[in-house]
Amino acid sequence: MERTLLIIKPDALQRRLAGRIVARFEEKGFQIVALKLARLPEAVIRRHYGAHEGKPFYEPLVRYMSGSPVLLLVVRARNAVAVARKMMGATFGANADPGTIRGDFAVSNRFNLIHGSDSPEAAEREIALFFKPEELHETPDPQEGMIYDLSTGERV
Ligand code: UDP
Ligand code: MG
């Protein structure tokens, strides 16, 4: 099992899409491990998006993400990082396939509703940036045997 960090971005909250976006991950079978609403300090956003520092979109991105609250989530599933990225769709809303979150609800290159970690290593780093260990709730999932085939002793 793998964890990933999701950020429901300010535009999603302001457009009242947060619940629908979170619901997609629940419907897919992801387990919610942590969830909170927060207005992120600019310094934290700069650190989170440090890899993009110096790019032309970096400063507007920092302004966008620090303007109003976001919803932070840690979710858990088999191959959570890759599956979540697929569900999000391509970065630019206009390029994202229909059926994806960005493809269905976004058209902007920047206001694209959701962040998801791009590797398992990035996920663990980002989770530690936004959550304390005691905020993560890895409780046994009674639905797991319906979401995966566990009959062979693996999660298939
Ligand atoms: N972004 C932007 N202009 C660009 C590329 C990215 O405003 O040309 C924003 C957009 O909100 C994106 C975020 O910067 O989600 C981070 O970019 P990244 O390439 O990491 O895309 P993601 O991983 O979110 O798909
Ligand atoms: Mg990225």
Average model confidence (pLDDT) across the chain: 98
How remote is the CA of residue 115 from the centroid of ligand 2, in Å? 7
Kindly report, residue by residue over 29-78, the tens digit of the pLDDT. 999 999 999 999 999 999 999 999 999 999 999 999 998 999 999 999 99
Q: Whose CA is nearest to atom 25 of ligand 1?
A: 91
Any idea what the Cα angle at residue 73 is, between residues 70 and 74, rounded to 5°?
A: 155
Return the bridge partners of 31, or none.
76
Query: What's the mean pLDDT in 8-33?
Result: 98
Q: Domains in the chain, please, with CATH?
A: 2-137 (3.30.70.141)
Phi-psi region of 79 (alpha: psi -120 to 50; beta: other; left: phi over 0): left
In this prediction, residue 75 carries a pLDDT of 98
Q: Could you give the CA distance from residue 22 to residue 6 in angstroms, rounded to a whole number? A: 9
Q: In what order do the strands lie in the sheet with 70-77?
A: 31-38, 70-77, 2-8, 114-116
Q: Whose CA is nearest to atom 21 of ligand 1?
A: 91
Q: Is 137 a catalytic residue?
A: no
| Coil, helix or strand at residue 34 | strand
What one-letter code names the amino acid at 33? Answer: V
Kindly report, residue by residue over 121-134, the tens digit of the pLDDT. 999 999 999 999 99
Out of 59, 110, 118, 125, give the residue to mutate to test ligand 1, the one with the largest number of ligand atoms within 8 Å of its CB. Answer: 110
How remote is the CA of residue 140 from the centroid of ligand 1, in Å? 34
